[in-house]
Amino acid sequence: MKESFTNRKMLHVVLHLLAWLVLIILPQLIINRYWGNNNFIDWRFYINAAIYGIIFYVNYIWLVPKFFFRKNKLPYFVFATIVIFIAYFIISFLSDLMHDQERDKQIAKVLEKLMEDEVVQRPPFRLIHIYYFILISAIITGFSIGLKVIEQHSKSEKRQKELEKEKLNSELAFLKNQVSPHFFFNTLNNIYSLIEINTNDAQEAVLKLSKLMRYLLYESEHGKTHLDNEIVFMKNYIDLMKLRLSSKVELLVDLPETDSNLEIPPLLFVPFVENAFKHGISYREKSFIHIFMKVEKDRIRFECINSQGQRTEKSHDENHSGIGLENVKKRLKLLYAAKHKLEITKSDTDFRILLEIEV
């Protein structure tokens, strides 16, 4: 973050230096074009460039940030006009101080050469000088406004992204809190019952539970995690949830054994799996849960289907589950925008979720 900010700052300075380098070199190129390469240097060109630089930076650094972004912009235009007039009087004073008759004769010859085919009468040189000075000053002032507005917009976008990131972090924390309490409560009860029946299975369940807790507490703190880690988490989660399944529940799980470097936000698929175990299990009739995932290069396809029979009744967890699904929808919109497709379909017999992500 700090390195990126430094790079942007350096690029900003380099662009300013290049712009003024062009402005310094250009007058001499014009002089060489019309006077020939006779080592003649007109320092008044560079005085003008310095004055235009002052106009630009007074606007860019002081006037635009302090006055232009206010609701009432009149003070800005008043001060900007005053700056231009003061700059003109400084240029006029310095030009008179460095008056060179030989140079004026050469300029007159150049003007005659440029206008030899023109029939119109040439206005006084002083009026031409005032006109072009005001025109160039107005252009420079407008450019300083535009540049500052772009920078302000860039800062606003950056601030918005930071706010979105904070929102994502808070939503992730909410999701972790949502997954943890009731899941751990049910799992501990299952393990407690399993201790008397099968000690080895109970020990294995405790080990899996500790791995889940470690993932929730530590690895999911980062904004990204490897897809492999997320798959292992889901497998451990499903294994623990299987402890309370009866023979009436058909569970099909097809999660890939990958060695992928793909990174995804943590706990992205778990709410769908959790929702399936909450509402796809019946202890009175046959029910099913099918969970599939397929990974192809930078695309992930995840599908979760659970039964939706007459056994389903409104419960305390239904609103809780709805919040979890909405949470994932928001995260997907913020993280993947147009790079994901989420389809949720509900019928009398099943509840289907299809998620495709381009990582």
Q: Kindly report, residue by residue over 72-107, the tens digit of the pLDDT.
A: 888 888 888 888 888 888 877 877 676 656 666 665
3-state helix, strand, coil in the chain (%, to 5): 70, 15, 20
Domain spanning 165-358 has what CATH number? 3.30.565.10
Residue 42's φ and ψ, nearest 5 degrees, are: -100, 105
The pLDDT, as a whole number, for residue 252 is 94
Number of H helices, E strands in the chain: 9, 7
pLDDT at 167 over 50: yes
The pLDDT, as a whole number, for residue 125 is 55
Mean pLDDT of the residues in the chain: 77
> Percent of the chain, pLDDT > 70?
69
pLDDT at 119 over 60: no
Averaged pLDDT for residues 15-26:
68
pLDDT at 35 over 70: no
Cβ neighbours of 293 (radius 10 Å): 20
The pLDDT, as a whole number, for residue 356 is 94
Provide the token pair at 189: 């009860």
The pLDDT, as a whole number, for residue 63 is 87
The pLDDT, as a whole number, for residue 36 is 54
pLDDT confidence of 212, banded at 50, 70, 90? confident
What pTM was computed for the model?
0.54
User: pLDDT higher for 46 or 189?
Assistant: 189
DSSP 219: G
Tokens 């900010």, located at residue:
5
User: pLDDT higher for 123 or 25?
Assistant: 25
pLDDT confidence of 179, banded at 50, 70, 90? low
Cα dihedral 121, 126, 131, 132 in deg (nearest 10):
100
User: pLDDT higher for 355 or 337?
Assistant: 355
By the 10 Å C-beta count (0-12 exposed, 13-18 middle, 19+ buried), 298 is classed as exposed
Gap between the Cα atoms of 96 and 125, Å rounded? 14
The pLDDT, as a whole number, for residue 44 is 66
Residue 121's φ and ψ, nearest 5 degrees, are: -80, 130
By the 10 Å C-beta count (0-12 exposed, 13-18 middle, 19+ buried), 53 is classed as middle
The pLDDT, as a whole number, for residue 26 is 64
Gap between the Cα atoms of 273 and 88, Å rounded? 73
For 231-275, the pLDDT digits (tens) are 998 998 898 888 778 888 899 999 998 777 888 888 889 889 988
For the chain, residues classed under CATH 3.30.565.10 are 165-358
User: pLDDT higher for 48 or 226?
Assistant: 226
Worst-scoring range by mean pLDDT, 39-48, 162-171, 331-340? 39-48
Report CA torsion sign: 15, 20, 21, 27: positive
Averaged pLDDT for residues 215-221:
74
The pLDDT, as a whole number, for residue 133 is 81
By the 10 Å C-beta count (0-12 exposed, 13-18 middle, 19+ buried), 272 is classed as buried
The pLDDT, as a whole number, for residue 183 is 62
Region label for 235, one of left (φ > 0), alpha (ψ between -120 and 50) or beta (otherwise): alpha
Provide the token pair at 73: 């912009």
